[in-house]
């Protein structure tokens, strides 16, 4: 591998002479096709031969046409398809020694010694067993005269890399499995639709979601829609739960709520390991409360549909990482699984992950439920804690009395997920004993005195609402600092939570600077990043960016489909983002774009020309549609119109062009499950930090916090959620273009280029380290607790 300043690049990593087979096994999951596409294209890109194994292990055992060489074009238009195009099957034959012997013979005949398996823990365990038996199987084949000694020597080692494709997110060692986010999208779409009909008729709905042994889907969808009750296998309800649940539902109705939602995982059990069915829950509600109650079993709807933007990016990243892992593996490297930790791809020993996954089931069987939750990982544990905190209101008598007043406001442009964050902050604040105040219309409303107390019930049903229900403006506080300080005194505000984009950071810096003149601002100040542009320094992700990405990807899918069956066509699509190219770049990766023009990576007429030539070449072979994304401020002269006209002129006779400006549709719509949960959980964490800071800084009857670390931004950095003083973020910020000086997602750009067949350089410094599964990560490594 070439080394430059301790960086590693993959250019000198060659796959020449190697053969890689890719297969999908077990239950299908959305995003599997994106993973297959990435493996095929990355494999071909580095010079390896890549084979499809159709119908999972069954195809490997049967051989023949089930194992076919893949071409670059054979994975075109695969990215947006759900399920698995190469097929998946449960295979009894592969469980038998004879079956594995046949499979080994079929692989050796084609010279395949690298296997990329996309499936659940059963599929991956089978692959590991196959690897362990490999030399013995080859010896048997030699003995039977099916292969010669030379072939046995040449193909003496089998290398395996796994990717976890499972909608249940039931695999230990990875924060998210391929397909989970898409399944959550399906569930939340159904819940949002059911809520309107339930409200009309004052009904209770019991929703059964998938998850035979894992309650992740049930728990996270309950968190994302604010369900009244959730039943999961890892944490069965206490004895007497029936009475408690009915009391809660009854109290909700008495509080003028017209509907109740109960979510049940299909594998839900009670403390005696007896199943709790959705029908049983329905009968309970009908018999004890007499409510009109209906059951909806979502079933295989959750497995279907197109993959979400998150799953496409995850699967594409994992697929590329899997090929890198196969190229670097040696005879002594254990079988590994490519996994996601925080925002980083990592490699973990396959069997360590499988063993821990099996320990969860064992703990549940032995009724060690607390341990089962811990074994699921910090993300699962935090989801459960947050759900309990937000769903069940303690009686007034049990709440601590803090006498602190905390104000919440939104600043900047609206972003989907802001309301979920406000709801979470208000409810956690009330649980901590504070009096919560809502400020309408940002700092403009603040200086005008648009401040009112907000109660627990006031934020009911907010999680699924797009935009900003509090109202938001771009006004900065500096001009009105006197009036704002006056309002702070009037309402005795002891802490401030600001939810917004780049403007929110500027606001916090202005308030911090005003501390020298106004004691009113010597209080805990906290900011949560919420902007579709994802241009806030100090965080890898912002609330709202995922929803915008999904809007872009859905639109790109439709636009590409509009050209199916017509002549060759190229679409030029303009995205929002200011000077930040996040939406264009990551949206390009998720929708299979050929190029994405952004401000951070300057381009000139030569680049445009080479892109046109590249597309022309592809169009002459077999690709029918091209997709070009352009960030709105990528270049003041090379406008969307200019690029459209250039491509139209240069592509004459080969392809025609169309252009689209996506505009504000990227800002609207209901928040995605990711944004609902990210907003909910970072707001809860921020309120707990505010409570801690308030208690630390309370002296002689008042709050006084004047240190740098009392004005912070809570952001996600690689694998951790961190509170960072806003003053320290100044040096990391380009204030002229309103973007961070360093942006993590720029490392993903080469992936898009590789998958679009451009020659490029790719920094793989973060790859290659085989890590170990850690039961409990350090306290603050809670990055994916944010999912």
DSSP string, 336-359: EEEEEETTEEEEEEHHHHHHHHHH
Neighbours of 8 (CB within 10 A): 17
In the block, tokens 């790719």 appear at 762
The neighbouring-strand residues paired with 164 are 119
The neighbouring-strand residues paired with 713 are 527, 724
Helix locations, 707-759, DSSP H: 726-729, 749-755
pTM for the predicted model, two decimal places: 0.93
277-309 exposure pattern, b = at least 16 Cβ within 10 A, e = fewer: ebebbbebbeeebebebebbebeebbbebbbbb
Taking a C-beta distance cutoff of 8 angstroms, is the pair 159, 117 a contact? no
* Nearest-angstrom CA–CA distance, 248 and 229: 9
Neighbours of 318 (CB within 10 A): 30
* Nearest-angstrom CA–CA distance, 735 and 74: 45
Q: Is 106 annotated as a binding residue?
A: no
Q: Is 60 annotated as a binding residue?
A: no
Confidence (pLDDT) at 417: 96
DSSP-derived secondary structure letter, 22: E
Q: Is 211 annotated as a binding residue?
A: yes
* Nearest-angstrom CA–CA distance, 77 and 84: 13
* Nearest-angstrom CA–CA distance, 265 and 420: 23
DSSP-derived secondary structure letter, 735: T
Summary count for the chain: helices (H), strands (E): 24, 29
Q: Is 569 annotated as a binding residue?
A: yes
Q: Is 527 annotated as a binding residue?
A: no
Q: Is 163 annotated as a binding residue?
A: no
CATH topology match: 180-302 vs 405-537+671-742: yes
Taking a C-beta distance cutoff of 8 angstroms, is the pair 676, 466 a contact? no
User: Domain residue spans in the chain?
Assistant: 10-177+307-359, 180-302, 405-537+671-742, 545-667
* Nearest-angstrom CA–CA distance, 208 and 276: 11
Catalytic residue among 168, 228, 441, 557: 168
Taking a C-beta distance cutoff of 8 angstroms, is the pair 677, 224 a contact? yes
Mean pLDDT, 10 residues at a time, the chain of 787 residues: 51 81 93 96 94 96 95 90 91 93 95 94 91 94 92 92 93 90 95 88 92 92 93 92 91 82 94 93 94 93 93 95 91 86 85 90 92 88 91 82 92 96 96 95 95 93 93 94 95 96 96 94 96 96 96 93 80 96 96 95 94 88 83 96 95 91 92 96 96 88 86 89 95 96 92 88 68 54 41
Q: Is 535 annotated as a binding residue?
A: yes
> CB-based contacts of 635: which residues, under 8 Å, 6+ apart?
597, 599, 602, 603
Q: Is 292 annotated as a binding residue?
A: no
Told to judge if 168 belongs to the known catalytic residues of this protein, a careful annotator would answer yes
Taking CA atoms, 627 is separated from 111, 566, 576, in Å, by 36, 15, 16
> CB-based contacts of 515: which residues, under 8 Å, 6+ apart?
521, 522, 706
Q: Is 122 annotated as a binding residue?
A: yes
- Give helix 673-697 / helix 216-225 axis angle, nearest 10°: 70
Of 547, 583, 549, 555, the closest CA to residue 672 belongs to: 547
Q: Is 474 annotated as a binding residue?
A: yes
Q: Is 577 annotated as a binding residue?
A: yes
Multiple choice CATH, 180-302, 3.40.640.10, 3.20.20.70, 3.10.129.10, 3.40.50.460: 3.40.50.460
Confidence (pLDDT) at 259: 87
* Nearest-angstrom CA–CA distance, 685 and 539: 15
Multiple choice CATH, 10-177+307-359, 3.30.1330.10, 3.40.50.450, 3.40.50.10490, 3.40.50.720: 3.40.50.450
Q: Is 664 annotated as a binding residue?
A: yes
Confidence (pLDDT) at 697: 87
Confidence (pLDDT) at 400: 85
Domain 545-667 class in CATH:
alpha beta
Of 223, 175, 184, the closest CA to residue 379 belongs to: 175
In CATH terms, the fold of domain 405-537+671-742 is Rossmann fold (3.40.50)
Taking CA atoms, 27 is separated from 123, 164, 295, 347, 626, in Å, by 10, 11, 25, 23, 32
> CB-based contacts of 631: which residues, under 8 Å, 6+ apart?
574, 575, 577, 579, 580, 581, 583, 584, 596, 597, 598, 599
Kindly report the three-state secondary structure assignment for every residue of 474-537. Answer: CCCCHHHHHHHHHHHHHHCCCEEEEEECHHHHHHHHHHHHHHHCCHHHCCCEEEEEECCCCCCC
DSSP-derived secondary structure letter, 652: T
Of 571, 577, 611, the closest CA to residue 591 belongs to: 571
Please give the span between the terminal C-alpha atoms of the chain, in angstroms, as a whole number.
35
187-203 exposure pattern, b = at least 16 Cβ within 10 A, e = fewer: bbebbeebbeebeeeeb
Q: Is 302 annotated as a binding residue?
A: yes
Confidence (pLDDT) at 122: 87
Confidence (pLDDT) at 199: 82
């Amino acid at each position: 591998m070439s080394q430059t300043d301790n960086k590693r690049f993959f250019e000198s990593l060659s796959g020449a002479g190697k053969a890689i087979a890719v297969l999908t096994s077990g239950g299908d999951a959305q995003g599997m096709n994106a993973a297959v596409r990435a493996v095929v294209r990355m494999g071909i890109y580095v010079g390896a031969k890549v084979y499809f194994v159709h119908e999972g292990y069954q195809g490997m055992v049967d051989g023949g046409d089930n194992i076919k060489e893949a071409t670059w074009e054979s994975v075109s238009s695969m990215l947006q398809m759900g399920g698995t195009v190469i097929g998946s099957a449960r295979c009894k034959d592969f469980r038998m020694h004879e079956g594995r012997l046949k499979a080994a013979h079929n692989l050796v005949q084609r010279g395949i010694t690298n296997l990329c398996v996309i499936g659940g823990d059963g599929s991956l365990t089978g692959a590991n067993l196959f690897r362990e038996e490999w030399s013995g199987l080859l010896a048997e084949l030699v003995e039977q005269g099916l292969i010669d000694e030379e072939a046995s020597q040449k193909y003496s080692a089998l290398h395996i890399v796994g990717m976890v494709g499972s909608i249940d997110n039931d695999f230990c060692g990875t924060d998210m499995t391929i397909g989970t986010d898409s399944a959550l999208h399906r569930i939340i779409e159904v819940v949002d639709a059911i809520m309107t009909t339930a409200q009309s008729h004052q009904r209770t709905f019991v929703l059964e979601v998938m998850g035979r042994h894992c309650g992740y889907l049930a728990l996270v969808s309950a968190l994302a829609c604010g369900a009244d009750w959730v039943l999961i296998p890892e944490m069965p309800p206490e004895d007497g739960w029936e009475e408690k649940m009915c009391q809660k539902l009854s109290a909700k109705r008495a509080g003028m709520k017209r509907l109740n939602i109960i979510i049940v995982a299909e594998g839900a059990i009670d403390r005696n390991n007896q199943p709790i069915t959705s029908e049983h829950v329905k009968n309970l509600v009908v018999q004890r409360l007499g409510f009109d109650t209906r059951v909806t079993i979502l079933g295989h709807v959750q497995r279907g549909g197109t993959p979400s933007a998150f799953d496409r990016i995850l699967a594409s990243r994992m697929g590329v990482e899997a090929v890198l892992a196969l190229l670097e593996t040696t005879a002594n490297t254990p079988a590994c699984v490519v996994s996601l930790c925080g925002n980083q791809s990592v490699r973990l020993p396959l069997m360590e992950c499988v063993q821990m996954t099996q320990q969860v089931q064992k703990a549940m069987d032995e009724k060690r439920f607390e341990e089962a939750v811990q074994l699921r990982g910090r993300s699962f544990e935090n989801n459960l804690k947050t759900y309990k905190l937000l769903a069940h209101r303690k009686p007034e008598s049990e709440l601590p009395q803090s006498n602190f007043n905390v104000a919440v406001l939104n600043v900047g442009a609206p972003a989907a997920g802001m309301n979920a964050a406000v709801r979470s902050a208000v409810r956690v604040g009330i649980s901590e004993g504070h009096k919560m105040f809502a400020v309408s219309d940002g700092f403009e409303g603040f200086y005008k005195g648009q401040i009112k107390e907000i109660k627990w019930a006031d934020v009911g049903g907010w999680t699924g609402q797009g935009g900003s229900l509090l109202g938001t403006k771009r006004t900065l506080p500096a001009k009105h600092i006197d009036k704002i300080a006056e309002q702070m005194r009037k309402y005795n505000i002891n802490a401030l939570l600001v939810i917004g984009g780049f403007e929110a950071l500027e606001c916090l810096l202005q308030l911090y600077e005003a501390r020298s003149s106004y004691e009113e601002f010597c209080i805990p100040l906290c900011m949560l990043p919420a902007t579709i542009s994802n241009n806030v320094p100090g965080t890898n992700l912002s609330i709202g960016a995922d929803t915008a990405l999904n809007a872009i990807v859905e639109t790109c899918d439709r636009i590409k489909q509009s050209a199916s069956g017509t002549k060759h066509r190229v679409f030029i699509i303009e995205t929002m983002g200011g000077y930040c190219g996040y939406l264009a770049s990551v949206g390009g990766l998720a929708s299979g774009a050929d190029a994405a023009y952004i401000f951070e990576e300057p381009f000139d007429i030569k680049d445009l020309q080479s892109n046109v030539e590249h597309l022309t070449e592809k169009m002459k072979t077999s690709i029918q549609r091209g997709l070009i994304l352009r960030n709105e401020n990528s270049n003041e002269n090379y406008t969307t119109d200019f690029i459209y006209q250039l491509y139209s002129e240069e592509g004459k006779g080969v392809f025609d062009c169309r252009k689209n400006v996506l505009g504000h549709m990227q800002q609207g719509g209901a928040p995605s499950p990711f944004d609902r949960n990210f907003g909910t959980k970072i707001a809860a964490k921020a309120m707990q930090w505010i409570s801690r800071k308030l208690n630390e800084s309370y002296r002689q009857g008042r709050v006084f916090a004047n240190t740098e670390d009392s004005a912070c931004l809570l952001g996600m950095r690689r694998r951790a959620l961190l509170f960072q003083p806003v003053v320290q973020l100044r040096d990391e910020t380009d204030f002229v273009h309103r973007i961070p000086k360093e942006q993590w997602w720029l490392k993903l750009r080469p992936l898009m280029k590789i998958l679009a067949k451009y020659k490029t350089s790719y920094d793989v410094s973060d790859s290659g380290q085989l890590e170990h599964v850690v039961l409990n990560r350090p306290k603050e490594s809670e990055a994916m607790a944010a999912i």
